[in-house]
Amino acid sequence: MTTVLGISGSLRAASTNTLLMREALRVSGADTLIEADLRLPLYDGDLEADGLPVAVQTLANQITIADAVVIATPEYNKALSGVLKNALDWVSRTDGKPWADKLVAIMSAAAGRAGGERSQFSLRLCMVPFGARVLTGPEVLVAASHSAFDEDGRLIDERYAKALDGLVGQLGL
């Protein structure tokens, strides 16, 4: 039995990164698909001193039990979203090194022509402290993301779908 966790760095209901993350989960072939909830409080050392928020520990546990994680990040001003960075910071405060040796596939969907390339690069840098095994390619950079998915949430452009298959396939699920 294999488990994959999907993390989308965008909270909005119509998020194209959530669509991309769901496609990654779907094609992963894993037996159990979990979607993370990044509606966490903003990191605050005083809050932490009172005890880790339950939602933070839940996320850390989901990362720990997953055989692999896929992360779809939006591009906000040429970097990853604050929502995603906040989640990474919170998880770094939990015990047990949830990311250690974890296979991770990162991807992005963005309005711009570069498909969030800079956000992925910034996310890759943010992952460095955690000791995860972040795949290097093929890169999944979905440009003009508002028109990249059909009504069923499938990627319209076969080149994107092929890249996603190639990337997620390396998770070996």
Ligand X SMILES: Cc1cc2nc3c(=O)[nH]c(=O)nc-3n(C[C@H](O)[C@H](O)[C@H](O)COP(=O)(O)O)c2cc1C
Q: Enumerate the β-bridge partners of residue 3.
A: 32
- Rounded Cα–Cα distance for residues 26 and 23 (Å): 5
> For ligand X, which is the closer residue by CB, 8 or 28?
8
Identify how many contiguous H helices and E strands the chain contains and give both numbers: 6, 6
Our finding on whether 77 is near ligand X (CB under 6 A) is yes
Q: Which of 4, 110, 163, 167 binds ligand X (CB under 6 A)?
A: 110
Backbone angles phi, psi at 156, to 5 degrees: -75, -45
Nearest approach in angstroms of CB 74 to ligand X is 3
Q: Is 78 an interacting residue with respect to ligand X (CB under 6 A)?
A: yes
Q: Which two tokens stand for residue 8?
A: 């989308």
Nearer to ligand X by Cβ, of 60 and 106: the residue is 106
Which of 112/138 has CB closer to ligand X?
112
Does residue 17 interact with ligand X by CB under 6 A?
Answer: yes
Chosen residue from 4, 5, 7, 16 binding ligand X by CB under 6 A: 16
Identify whether the C-beta of residue 141 lies closer than 8 Å to the C-beta of residue 35. no
